[in-house]
Amino acid sequence: MAILSINGKRYELDLPDNMPLLWVLRDYLKLTGTKYGCGIGQCGACTIHLEGEPMRSCTLPISALEGKKITTIEHYADKKVLHPVQKAWIEEDVAQCGYCQSGQIMGAIALLDKKGRPNDEDIYNAMSGHLCRCGTYLRIKKAIKTAAQNG
């Protein structure tokens, strides 16, 4: 039995200890905003925040997460006011297929929490772990800068 705190809610889960958080979110908790992309931490589609740090949920077994604060894209979706990163993503018309974008947004929020005015190098360091097959990188970079200005 694992007890997890996700988006401020407490969940008691009777699931195998080594099950990655990603699949608990997606297949059991209906938190499907977090996406499966590769299962080996190479693409960033499954990015969540663990104690505020961006982490790949596909490689995080639930046994390692007890007592830690987990935040998913749904935390930002359920608020009345959009996060500046979400606003910028809409304003800059970033998404194409959109599948990687929850992960990209979670990566960008974590970046801006640390660095209010990131330069290109900061953006590359924070976001190079996020793949996008549609090729939205230029707009992602622009949206992060827009969010930094408006945040």
Partner 1 sequence: MDSINRRHFLKISGISGGGLLLSAMIPFGCVTEEKELIDWEPNFFIRIQSDNQITFSCSQSEMGQGTSTGLAMIMADELGAKLEDLKFVFAPGSEEKFQHLQDTGGSNGLRMMYQPLREAAATTREILIEAAAQKWGLPKSNLYAEDGMVKEKGSDRLIPFGELLEVAQNLSAPSEIPLKDKSDFKYIGQSVRSQKSKQIALGRLPYSIDVKLPGMVYAAIQRCPVWKGSLISFDDSEARKIPGVIDVIAMEGTELQAMDYKGGVRPGVAVIAENTWAAFEGKKALNIEWNLGPNAQKSESDLKKELEESKTNNSIVSFDFKEGQASFSKGKKILEASYESPFQVNACMEPLNAVADHNGYKVEIWSGTQAPSLTRERISELTKLPPAAITVHNPPSGGGFGRRFFVDFVEEAVILSRQLKRPVKVTWSREDTIATNKYHPYRVEYWSAALDSENQPLGLSYHGVVSRPGGYRPYPYGLPMIFHNRLDYKEGNLLPRASWRSVFAHPWGLGMECFIDELAFEAGQDPLQFRLDLLDKSEVFLQKRLPYVGDDLYPQKLKRTLEMVGEKAGWGKSKEDNVYQGVSAFAYNTSYCSQIADVSVVEGKVKVHKVTAVIDCGLAINPSQVKSQVEGSIIWGLSATLKDAIQVSNGAVLQKNFHDYDLLRIRECPEIEVFIVDSDDPPSGTGEPAVPGIAPAVLNAVFAATGKRIRKIPIANEDLLG
The contacts of residue 123 (CB under 8 Å, 6+ apart) are 111, 141, 144, 145
Smallest gap from Cβ 69 to partner 1, in A, equals: 18
Smallest gap from Cβ 41 to partner 1, in A, equals: 9
| Alpha carbon 32 to chain centroid, angstroms | 12
25 backbone dihedrals φ, ψ, rounded to 5°: -60, -50
DSSP state of 95: -
CA dihedral 22, 28, 33, 34 (to 10 degrees): 0
The residue among 19 and 50 lying less far from partner 1, judged by its C-beta, is 19
Smallest gap from Cβ 54 to partner 1, in A, equals: 14
| Alpha carbon 142 to chain centroid, angstroms | 18
Smallest gap from Cβ 21 to partner 1, in A, equals: 10
Q: What are 75's two structure tokens?
A: 């935390």
The residue among 6 and 73 lying less far from partner 1, judged by its C-beta, is 73
CA dihedral 78, 79, 80, 81 (to 10 degrees): -130
Smallest gap from Cβ 141 to partner 1, in A, equals: 7
Contact set with partner 1 (CB under 8 A) = 16, 19-20, 22-23, 26-28, 30, 32-40, 42-43, 45, 72-74, 76-77, 82, 86-87, 89-91, 93-102, 105, 123-124, 127-128, 130-141
